[in-house]
Structure 1
Amino acid sequence: MNLVPETENHVIDNSILSGGLSLNFNRRQKTLIITGLCSALLIGIIIAAQLMSNAGIATNFSQQNLAPSWSHPFGTDWLGRDMFTRTIKGLAISIQIGLLASSVSVVIALVLGMCAATMGEKVDAVISWLVDLFMGVPHLVALVLIAVVLGGGAKGVIIGVALTHWPSLTRVIRAEVMQVRSSQYVLVSRHLGRSRWWIASRHILPHLLPQFFVGLILIFPHAILHEASITFLGFGLSPHLPAIGVILSESMGYLAAGMWWLAFFPGLSLLIIVRAFDVIGDNLRMLLDPHRAHE
């Protein structure tokens, strides 16, 4: 026998449904959650690479060319090395090199963008010419040339990536600085006798910090992809390192023998990391956009 009136049942059902709907997240909350998960993934890879023993990447001819299994999720290579361990350590190397190279590149873009917008027409013309020059040369060609001149290795890769990824961000920062310097509070400070350095450090630089961090996150995926590309071509990191580019380059000679896992899992892992940074960059840009941050 139903002791609760039908109207009350309807109210109770609606309250339950409304309570369930209240668990839905708005766009800002979803953005924060996704950014946190992607960041945790990247930090976890770096920590896991440090905690993993080097025994997994040691030569073991008794476990050559094993297909993926529970004991070896990514299989083993022709030297019996565990591909899961090599992939995690390779991803950690790519993340560290990409983060350092993209940080240097963003600093270059920040300095040149501010100089172009605040130090007169001649400096602006020179920096604009440099931007056009670097943007007219394909990234991969410039990277290979710089890496070869510097003798390859991590130093050549970092410097090459840093010197080829700043032009686009420089244009963005230059446009932002030119917009900020015409603001009323900047004009008031100028009339009060404040120096260019004081105005740049107190008014312009804080306004550029969001662009700085968003640019860092968005440049990073390009940095690690180009690092893997020139390492794959033989102009980057040492073949003795378990870098993703080295792994993919070595695996090309064994794909015809049916050992597909040598390239599939490292390549897929690199793609996931790049996509994770793309998501972080897009979400961070959305959070810092004043027109969309309230959604």
Structure 2
Amino acid sequence: MKHLMRVGMTLPQFHYRLRIWISSMAALFVLLTIIAMSVWFDASGLATNLEQRNLGPSIRHLFGTDWLGRDMLTRTIKGLGRSLQVGLIAGSSSVIIASMMGIAAAVMGSMVNRFISWVTDLFLSVPHLVTLLLISFVLGGGAQGIIIGVALTHWPSLSRVIRAEVMQIQTAPYLAISRNFGKSSWWIVTRHIIPHLIPQLLVGLILIVPHAILHEASITFIGMGLSPHEPAVGIILSESMRYLSSGLWWLALFPGLCLLFMVMAFARLGENLKQGVDPRHAHDK
């Protein structure tokens, strides 16, 4: 207790931060486990084996097998790894676009600011899932279509946050000193503004990725996403709908739960990081 008083932390604040730390470590463990298993699992479980088709969950096949005898645990883990890969690439691309737009709107004058604000409002006025479907359809689907679609539809909200943050630090004394020393706008952006935005960009990335994963799964589910030949959770759920009436409940239950847990882990990690970098939460509880 005396140590907590020396660092200026009360006991409720300590318990609150401990819960945040434990939940963050648990979420990170879930994500790292999925990544490790997707790399470690042998692809032989994806091969057709008609002698073992439609087997229920057992010790040998924890998630059962499908109508072609493929191991559902292997298909699910490989599918989660593929969804995670697509989500990370799409989320990173969206964060890059958001940071470019937000910084440009804040530092390149009123005309650029009005134009970017108009573009941002235009994208926000249309449900991004509809725009994502149109972009994916125009690009012929596949991972490339989903990545580009997510990158072009998920940047506006983060862009507004970045713009507001840059506008706030524009009047900082160290920026005025750099201008007085004749430093260029590019030098100020790269040396002062971007390092200041790294926490916000990291939180934005972690919060965008679960949206990208869910949208990839939903678009793949309706047949406009990843190829049916790839192990993807959306494909697994789409194919399993035809067999639920036959009692093969494990084909949809376990992949759906695993997808839910992965998205919830990302969301929890993002919310905890958001509270960690937000000054309003610095002295919560």
Query: Above 0.5 in TM-score?
Result: yes
1:183-208 C-alpha deviation (Å, 9 max, x unpaired): 23323332333221122122211211
For 2:27, give the aligned amino acid. C
Name the structure 1 match of 2:142. 153
1:286 aligned to 2:264?
no
For 2:151, give the aligned amino acid. A
Structure 1 gaps of 5+ residues are 1-21
Aligned pair count?
273
For 1:202, give the aligned amino acid. R
Alignment of 1:171-210 (within 5 A): 171-210=160-199
Among candidates 127, 138, 163, match of residue 116 of structure 2? 127
For residues 199 and 186 of structure 1, the distance between their equivalents in structure 2, rounded to whole angstroms, comes to: 7
Among candidates 237, 259, 268, match of residue 226 of structure 2? 237
Q: What secondary structure, in the 3-state scheme, does the structure 1 residue paired with 2:119 have?
A: helix
For 2:277, give the aligned amino acid. L
Please state how far the C-alpha of 1:294 moved relative to its aligned partner.
5.2
Name the structure 1 match of 2:243. 254
Name the structure 1 match of 2:92. 103
Among candidates 45, 58, 70, match of residue 81 of structure 1? 70
Q: What secondary structure, in the 3-state scheme, does the structure 1 residue paired with 2:120 have?
A: helix
For residues 86 and 136 of structure 1, the distance between their equivalents in structure 2, rounded to whole angstroms, comes to: 38
Among candidates 122, 128, 134, match of residue 139 of structure 1? 128
For 1:287, give the aligned amino acid. G
Please state how far the C-alpha of 1:161 moved relative to its aligned partner.
1.0
Q: Does the 8 Å contact 1:28/1:293 carry over to 2? A: no
For residues 262 and 164 of structure 1, the distance between their equivalents in structure 2, rounded to whole angstroms, comes to: 31
1:56 aligned to 2:31?
no
Q: What secondary structure, in the 3-state scheme, does the structure 2 residue paired with 1:163 have?
A: helix
Among candidates 201, 223, 231, match of residue 212 of structure 2? 223
For residues 115 and 25 of structure 2, the distance between their equivalents in structure 1, rounded to whole angstroms, comes to: 41
For 1:123, give the aligned amino acid. V
1:57-93 C-alpha deviation (Å, 9 max, x unpaired): 1111111111212221111111111111110110000
Indicate the structure (1 or 2) with the bigger Cα radius of gyration. Answer: 1
Among candidates 23, 33, 44, match of residue 22 of structure 2? 33
Name the structure 1 match of 2:56. 67
Please state how far the C-alpha of 1:263 moved relative to its aligned partner.
0.8
Q: What secondary structure, in the 3-state scheme, does the structure 1 residue paired with 2:204 have?
A: helix
Deviates more, 1:147-156 or 1:171-180: 147-156
Alignment of 1:106-117 (within 5 A): 106-117=95-106
TM-score, reference length from structure 2:
0.91
TM-score, reference length from structure 1:
0.88
For residues 210 and 150 of structure 1, the distance between their equivalents in structure 2, rounded to whole angstroms, comes to: 33
Q: What secondary structure, in the 3-state scheme, does the structure 2 residue paired with 1:36 have?
A: helix
For residues 204 and 43 of structure 1, the distance between their equivalents in structure 2, rounded to whole angstroms, comes to: 31
Q: What secondary structure, in the 3-state scheme, does the structure 2 residue paired with 1:75 have?
A: coil
Please list every run of at least 4 consecutive aligned residues from structure 1 whose deviation after the TM superposition is greater than 4 angstroms.
none
For residues 80 and 136 of structure 1, the distance between their equivalents in structure 2, rounded to whole angstroms, comes to: 46
For 1:286, give the aligned amino acid. Q
